[in-house]
Every structure is written in structure tokens, then in C-alpha cells.
């Protein structure tokens, strides 16, 4: 069992003929992901990495019945790519692209209101993986293993770090979701936690948050209402100086909200254990 | 990119918003000349931070000598870490009332928010805390912007109905900063109502989304470079790196913002202080690592460097090759700890070992190691790559 993605999910890759898109499509295929096609305007009718290439997502959906997409197109075109996927009826949209202007994403979020069945992950995220079954994005499968820990994270590399430690300790993962670090993004911690709550295969939960915004606080409030999952949270950026941007446009502290302390306290109040370093997570989860 | 007041006002004026007559002065003579042209002026420090008034960065000048003297005092002054490069001399306004008007991104709502309050001029955050009901709010539609009737409601909600017409017109102009300039903040505080009933921007804050810089090259050309930034941050930007200067002595390189922030946390926990944050991002290539190391080594305070890379797109062997090449090219003699994991990590670790760099096992181990090496004093600190 898993959330959002499994072996049956019919995946296309937007930007399949690009360097990153191509490289990661191969990685996705190597895991056994059901990649049914890709898009690249102007290259429709050709084949790439053994799958048909289409000019548009609508063409791809019509021909392949695809219901999920991984977006690897450059930032100036990424917002349009997300909306194109939603309009074509895709229900799981994973946008890996980094550096999308915030105003573009605000318009995307508004656009997506008309497509409630479309779930967006990202942008600026590593995507998601259901170990042993399928992945959309760039999470290396080598560091994952099938199991019962649900992992949701705002940071790409910290996700790998934790997944790797979990796997090494024999604690496999049901699904790993990197929601991304941008201030305006698709699924939030709360959304993903709700999916994990409903997944019988998931028994444990790891949340990896970051300073900025209050999505972690909202997830903590949700968990405080009662959860069947044994959860551990970790927040990075506790030593980041106030007002300094740390790469993620999202990691900006404003007032008391969004500080590492406020997030850690919210989790503790919700009965969620808070790890000091990522190395501590495995031990606390046992 | 945060625009300076005079730059933001030029942009507002181009959108049709009234601004007081003003002149930029780079030296006391120019400030005196500004007085000759404008009469009594406010001499205002141009820095990209708030609180300059309290820091002594704004002075009123009633004579040419006062203007000259004010400029003398203010130019070169340090305000919250920024050296004031120039002043903006602005004709004093006949103020009847001061209003707050601002657009910003409400990240929880994933939308732009427009705020309007009759209680402008003072610290709006204090107003927000003490009397939140005195700030009227509107989330304009992301595609079409605010409509007239929505703004009219907003203006009446803010108890500013007596100037509804000019205010609605002005807010629509300010809104254009969002679609046309990718503004993350477009704020006028105070928005001044003059004795004659004109509505004029007393101050202006405009922050442009760096992710959208490619759409606004003209702004960078026109307004970039006025503020002398942190030299390492400036150099890092030239080399296309995400870099923030901090005040410690251990250089940090990591891939991914989260991991990099996590590394700062680990170094502090191990008893050290980081000199910087440097995210080499996904897909970091050898030359990117070398660029990052070069910028970090520019800082004479740096006593050692910790590189923490966990691969997704990033390939460990490439990072290792980059680290060794960079160390050799730069003739680096300081302690260097490299924590490497992820795609092709074995090849990467092997390569590091062959070249005299002991790879760290976990981020925490590596952090403790670099803190120990930089603290150990001269003998250890002189050895390269230990």
C-alpha cells in the first residue's frame, strides 16, 4: 500500500527530451514506474526512451490514458506546464522545476481551483516515491526501501538523508513525498498527513520541516486532534539568522510565526516527538 | 531585489502614482543644489531596510546649509549593515493625514493580499497587533486583479470613504506592480493626503521576485549596484551561487537549502560558528564546487570548510572530483571535511581518499570534525584536507 502513487499509476514526463527530464525518466523506468509517454512541443510523433512523445499533454492523455505527470521544464514555462496538465485531466501533477516566479505560482493556485481532482506536488521539490513500486521525480530509489514509514518533507536533500538512515535501520517507507520549499506550493504537510492517516500500510510518520510559513504548525494542529501514526518531526534552520534568505524563497522568518521554535513547540504540544538532528530520527521512531 | 525608495518611487511614478518632487544627491553640494530647486526638503538615507528614521537617516532641511549638512552626516553612515550610498532630497509635504497601503504575498493563503488602513505612518505591525480591525483586507483575484467595487468596499471598510475615488484609482495603479514587475511587496506608507486633498506617496517599498529577474533585466540594469553589498555575496552572485554571509569562521557548502540549513544547525550544535550559507543546488558540477570554495576562501576569517553533499541529481563522484580540483587549483591549505553521500558515493569517497581527503561519515560526525580541526590550533589547521 502507499499514497498517491503505485505501480499502476500511468505517468508521463513533461520535458522528457530534456537533459534532466531524460535522465530522470530512465531512473523512474528503472524502478518500474509505469511511464506511458512524454511531451515536448515540436517532437510529437517521435519516440524517446522507449515511450511515445507528444506535442501536448492533452494529446498524451488521449493516447495513453495517463493520470500523472512529472514536470521537468525550465522555470519560465513551468507554471503553464502545470496548468496544461490540470486542464488535460491529470490528477497527480509533480513539478520538480526550481525557481518559478511566485506570482506565476499564485496564478497557478487560483487556476487549480477549477480542477479540484488535480493534486499538485511542488514546485521546487524532489517529487515522490513509493519504494519498490514507482516514483515521479528525482528521489534516488537506492536509498529507499518498502515499508511502513510515511515521510513528508520540505527539503530535498534532507529527505534523502532521512530515507537513507531509515532504510539502513531496516525501517522501510510506504511513500516519501517531497512537497518542496517554495512559499506558494501545492500539497501541504496537512494534506499529505491526511493521506498517510488513511493508508493502512503506513504506521509511522516523519515530518521534515523548515523555518518560514506556518504549514508545519497547521500539520501539528491536525495531529493534535488525534492520530494513529507514531510521529517524529524535525525542523531545519533553527540557527538561520532572522530576515536572511537561505535559498528557498520560503525560508523567510516573519515575526514569531514560522520560527524553528514555534514549529517545534507546536509539534510537542501535539504529542509529536521533535528530533534535534536528522541522526536522532530513527531512534525516536522505534 | 529590494528597490531603494527613490527607485521604487520612479517605478510608482511610471505607473501614474503621484510622488513628491525629489532629487538624488550623491554629495553635500548636490543636496544644497536640491534645496535651491525644491525649497525645504527631507534628506533621506537610501538603504534597503526599514527603520532608517529611528537610525538618524532622515533629516529636515530648511536652508541650503542644513541640506548640505544633513547630506554630510547621512552619506556614508551605517544603517543596519548598509553603508548609505546617497540621499534622496524630497520636497516637504503639507500633510493632512497619513494612510497605510500595501500589497504583499500571504503565503498561508497562497495569494496576494491588499491591506489598507487609515492609521498609516506609524509602525503598521504595531497597528496590526493592537487594532487588527482597523486594517481592511482584500485578496485580489490572481488573474484579473482587484475590481472597482471590491476596492470601493475596501476603502469604506477602512473608513476612508471621503477619498474613495482617488484612492480606488491609486490602488489600481499600485496593483500593476504585481503583474508588471513581479512585486512581492508593493507598499506605500505613509500614503499622504495633503491639505489640498491630493493623495501622494510619502514613502515606497518595492521588492521584486528574484525568481522573475529574467523578466525584469531592465530594472537590474537601471537600479542594481547602487548599494554596496557584502563583498562575498556580490562575488557569489556573479558566480551564480546561492550564498549568504554569516559571522562565524567555518565555511559551509551544501546541496539543497534544507540540508545546508541543517548543516548550520549541526555546526552550531558541535560548538562552532558558520561563516556562510552556500547552497550549490541540485546537479552541482565540479566547477560549481570550485566557485563556491573560491568565494568562501576570499573571507580571511574562514579557518576551515565543511562540505556536506547528499546526492539526488548531484553525483557524488563529480562532487569529489570538483572538491579535489578546487582545493588544488586554489592551493587551499585550511582543514577541509567532506561529507559525501548519495548517487555514486563509493566512487566519490574513493577519489577523496586517494587525494588525501578523509570523507566524513554522517553530517553530524563531519560537523564535529570540522569544529575540532578549526579549534585545534595551528598544527592541525595548517594541514590540508584532513
Is residue B380 packed enough to be buried (19+ CB in 10 Å), middle (13-18) or exposed (0-12)? Answer: middle
Segments in A169-241 forming alpha helices (H): 189-198, 215-224
Helix, coil or strand: residue A160: helix
Strand partners, A135: A129
In tens, the pLDDT along B67-112 reads 999 999 999 999 988 899 999 999 999 999 999 999 999 888 899 9
Q: So which residues of A are the catalytic ones?
A: 248
Chain A contact for B48, CB < 8 A? no
Cis ω on the peptide bond leading into residue A123 (within 30° of 0)?
A: yes
Contact A231, A209 (CB under 8 A): no
In tens, the pLDDT along B33-78 reads 999 999 999 999 999 888 888 899 999 999 999 999 999 999 999 9
Asked whether residue B7 is assigned to any structural domain, the reply reads no
Chain A contact for B342, CB < 8 A? yes
Q: Which three cell numbers stand for residue A145?
A: 526501501
Same domain, B368 and B303: yes
- Cβ–Cβ contacts within 10 Å for residue A40, how many? 21
pLDDT at B344: 77
Contact at CB, B269 and A276, closer than 8 angstroms: yes
* B245: enclosing H helix or E strand: strand B242-245
Asked whether residue B110 is assigned to any structural domain, the reply reads yes
Same domain, B355 and B239: yes
Q: Which three cell numbers stand for residue B370?
A: 570540522
Residues of B in contact with A164 (CB under 8 A): 310, 341
Q: Among A15-24, A132-141, B315-324, whose mean pLDDT is lowest?
A: B315-324
Boundaries of every domain in chain A:
11-122, 139-285
Contact at CB, B312 and A156, closer than 8 angstroms: yes
Segments in chain B forming alpha helices (H): 5-14, 28-38, 64-74, 124-130, 148-157, 164-175, 177-181, 217-223, 231-238, 257-269, 286-298, 316-330, 345-354, 363-375, 378-382
pLDDT of A251 over the 70 cut:
no
Strand partners, A232: A206, A273
- Tell me, what DSSP letter sits at residue B112? E
Containing structural domain, residue B322: 231-374
pLDDT at A36: 98
Q: Output the pTM of the full model.
A: 0.90
Q: List the CATH number of the domain containing B297.
A: 3.40.50.261
Same domain, B145 and B209: yes
* Domain A11-122 CATH assignment equals 3.40.50.2300: no
Q: Which three cell numbers stand for residue A39?
A: 511531451
Class of domain A139-285: alpha beta
Asked whether residue B379 is assigned to any structural domain, the reply reads no
Mean pLDDT value across chain A: 92
Same domain, B361 and B238: yes
Residues 6+ apart with CB under 8 A from A205: A149, A150, A151, A152, A193, A196, A227, A229, A230, A231, A232
Residue A115 CA from chain centroid, whole number:
19
Same domain, B205 and B256: no
Contact at CB, A157 and B255, closer than 8 angstroms: yes
Same domain, B87 and B99: no
Question: How many Cα atoms occupy the beta-carbon half-sphere of B18 within 13 Å?
Answer: 16
User: Where would I find the beta strands (DSSP E) of chain A?
Assistant: 11-14, 35-39, 47-48, 51-54, 68-71, 92-95, 119-122, 127-130, 134-137, 146-153, 173-178, 204-210, 230-236, 273-274
Q: Which of A138, A178, A239 to mutate to test the interface with B (most CBs of B within 10 A)?
A: A239
- Cβ–Cβ contacts within 10 Å for residue A87, how many? 16
pLDDT at A175: 98
Task: State mean pLDDT over A75-95.
Answer: 98
Residues 6+ apart with CB under 8 A from A108: A79, A82, A83, A120
Percent share of chain A, pLDDT over 90? 81
Positions of chain B with pLDDT lower than 50, given as ranges: 378-386
Same domain, B66 and B108: no
Which residue has 497557478 as its cell numbers? A108
- Looking at B72, B91, B110, the residue that finishes a domain is B91
Helix and strand numbers, DSSP H then E, in chain B: 15, 18
pLDDT at B312: 57
Chain A contact for B292, CB < 8 A? no
pLDDT at A244: 53
Contact at CB, A184 and B107, closer than 8 angstroms: yes
pLDDT of A229 over the 70 cut:
yes
Query: Do A11-122 and A139-285 have matching folds?
Result: yes
pLDDT of A124 over the 50 cut:
yes
Identity of the highest mean pLDDT range in A63-72, A274-283, B278-287: A63-72
pLDDT at A242: 61
Which residue has 512537497 as its cell numbers? A179
Asked whether residue B349 is assigned to any structural domain, the reply reads yes
Residues 6+ apart with CB under 8 A from B56: B73, B74, B77
pLDDT at B349: 85
pLDDT at B314: 63
pLDDT at B318: 77
Same domain, B370 and B235: yes
List phi, psi (to 5°) of B347. Answer: -60, -40
Asked whether residue B384 is assigned to any structural domain, the reply reads no
Residues within 8 A of A (CB atoms), B 158-187 only? 178-179, 182, 184
Contact at CB, B260 and A247, closer than 8 angstroms: yes
pLDDT at B382: 40
Q: Which of B285, B351, B288 is nearest to B320 (CA)?
A: B351
pLDDT at A253: 35
d(CA B27, CA B74): 10
Same domain, B208 and B319: no
Could you give the number of structural domains in chain B? 3
Cis ω on the peptide bond leading into residue B190 (within 30° of 0)?
A: yes
Same domain, B236 and B370: yes
User: Higher-confidence residue: A124 or B321?
Assistant: A124
Buried b (16+ CB within 10 A) or exposed e, A161-192: bbbbbbbeeebbbbbbbbbbbbbbbbbbbbbb
Same domain, B78 and B161: no
Percent share of chain A, pLDDT over 70? 94
Q: List the CATH number of the domain containing B193.
A: 3.30.470.20
pLDDT of A166 over the 90 cut:
yes
Contact A152, A177 (CB under 8 A): yes
Strand partners, A75: none
pLDDT at A255: 42
Closest-CA distance, B373 to chain A, in angstroms, reads: 21
Amino acid at each position: 500500500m502507499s499514497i498517491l502513487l503505485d505501480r499502476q499509476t500511468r505517468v508521463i514526463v513533461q520535458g522528457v527530451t530534456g537533459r534532466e527530464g531524460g535522465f530522470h525518466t530512465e531512473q523512474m523506468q528503472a524502478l518500474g514506474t509505469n511511464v506511458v509517454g512524454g511531451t515536448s512541443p515540436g517532437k510529437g510523433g517521435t519516440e524517446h526512451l522507449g515511450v511515445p512523445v507528444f506535442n501536448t499533454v492533452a494529446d498524451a492523455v488521449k493516447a495513453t490514458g495517463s493520470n500523472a505527470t512529472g514536470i521537468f521544464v525550465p522555470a519560465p514555462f513551468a507554471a503553464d506546464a502545470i496548468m496544461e496538465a490540470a486542464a488535460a485531466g491529470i490528477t497527480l501533477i509533480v513539478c520538480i522545476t526550481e525557481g518559478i516566479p511566485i506570482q506565476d505560482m499564485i496564478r497557478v493556485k487560483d487556476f487549480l481551483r477549477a480542477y479540484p481532482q488535480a493534486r499538485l506536488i511542488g514546485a521546487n521539490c524532489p517529487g515522490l516515491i513509493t519504494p519498490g513500486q514507482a516514483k515521479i521525480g528525482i528521489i534516488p530509489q537506492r536509498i529507499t526501501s518498502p515499508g511502513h514509514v510515511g515521510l513528508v518533507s520540505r527539503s530535498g536533500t534532507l529527505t534523502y538523508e532521512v530515507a537513507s538512515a531509515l532504510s539502513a535501520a531496516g525501517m522501510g517507507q510506504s511513500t516519501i513525498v517531497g512537497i518542496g520549499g517554495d512559499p506558494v506550493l501545492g500539497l501541504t504537510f496537512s494534506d499529505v498527513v491526511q493521506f498517510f492517516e488513511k493508508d493502512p500500510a503506513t504506521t509511522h510518520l516523519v515530518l521534515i520541516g523548515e523555518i518560514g510559513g506556518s504549514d508545519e504548525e497547521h500539520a501539528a494542529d491536525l495531529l493534535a486532534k488525534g492520530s494513529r501514526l507514531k510521529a517524529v518531526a524535525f525542523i531545519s534552520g533553527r540557527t538561520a539568522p532572522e530576515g536572511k534568505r537561505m535559498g528557498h524563497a520560503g525560508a523567510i522568518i516573519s515575526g514569531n510565526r514560522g520560527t524553528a521554535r514555534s514549529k517545534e513547540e507546536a509539534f510537542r504540544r501535539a504529542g509529536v516527538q521533535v528530533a534535534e538532528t536528522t541522526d536522532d530520527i530513527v531512534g525516536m521512531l522505534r | 531585489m529590494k528597490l531603494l525608495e527613490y527607485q521604487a518611487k520612479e517605478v510608482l511614478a511610471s505607473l501614474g502614482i503621484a510622488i513628491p518632487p525629489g532629487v538624488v544627491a550623491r554629495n553635500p553640494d548636490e543636496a544644497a543644489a536640491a534645496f535651491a530647486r525644491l525649497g525645504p526638503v527631507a534628506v533621506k538615507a537610501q538603504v534597503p531596510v526599514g527603520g532608517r528614521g529611528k537610525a538618524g537617516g532622515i533629516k529636515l532641511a530648511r536652508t541650503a546649509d542644513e541640506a548640505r549638512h544633513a547630506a554630510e552626516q547621512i552619506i556614508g553612515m551605517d544603517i543596519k549593515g548598509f553603508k548609505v550610498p546617497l540621499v534622496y532630497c524630497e520636497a516637504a509635504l503639507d500633510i493632512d493625514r497619513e494612510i497605510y497601503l500595501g500589497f504583499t504575498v500571504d503565503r498561508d493563503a497562497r495569494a496576494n493580499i491588499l491591506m489598507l488602513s487609515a492609521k498609516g505612518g506609524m509602525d503598521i505591525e504595531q497597528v496590526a497587533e493592537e487594532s487588527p480591525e482597523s486594517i481592511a483586507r482584500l485578496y485580489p483575484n490572481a488573474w484579473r486583479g482587484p475590481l472597482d467595487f471590491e476596492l470601493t468596499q475596501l476603502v469604506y471598510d477602512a473608513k476612508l470613504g471621503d477619498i474613495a475615488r482617488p484612492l480606488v484609482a491609486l490602488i489600481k495603479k499600485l496593483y500593476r506592480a504585481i503583474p508588471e514587475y513581479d512585486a512581492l511587496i508593493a507598499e506605500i506608507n505613509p500614503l499622504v493626503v495633503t491639505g489640498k486633498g491630493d493623495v501622494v506617496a510619502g514613502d515606497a517599498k518595492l521588492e521584486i521576485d528574484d525568481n522573475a529577474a529574467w523578466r525584469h533585466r531592465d530594472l537590474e540594469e537601471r537600479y542594481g549596484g547602487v548599494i554596496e553589498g557584502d563583498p562575498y555575496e556580490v562575488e557569489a552572485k556573479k558566480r551564480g551561487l546561492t550564498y549568504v554571509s554569516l559571522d562565524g569562521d567555518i565555511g559551509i557548502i551544501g546541496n539543497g537549502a534544507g540540508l545546508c540549513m541543517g548543516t548550520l544547525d549541526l555546526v552550531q550544535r558541535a560548538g562552532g560558528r558558520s561563516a556562510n550559507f552556500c547552497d550549490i543546488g541540485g546537479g552541482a558540477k565540479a566547477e560549481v564546487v570550485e566557485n563556491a570554495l573560491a568565494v568562501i576562501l576570499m573571507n580571511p576569517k574562514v579557518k576551515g570548510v565543511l562540505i556536506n553533499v547528499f546526492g539526488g541529481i548531484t553525483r557524488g563522484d563529480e562532487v569529489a572530483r570538483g572538491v579535489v580540483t578546487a582545493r588544488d587549483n586554489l592551493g587551499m591549505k585550511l582543514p577541509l571535511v567532506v561529507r559525501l553521500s548519495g548517487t555514486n558515493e563509493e566512487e566519490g569517497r574513493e577519489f577523496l581518499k586517494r587525494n588525501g581527503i578523509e570523507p566524513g561519515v554522517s553530517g553530524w560526525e563531519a560537523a564535529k570534525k570540522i569544529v575540532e580541526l578549526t579549534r585545534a590550533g595551528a598544527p592541525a589547521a595548517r594541514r590540508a584536507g584532513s
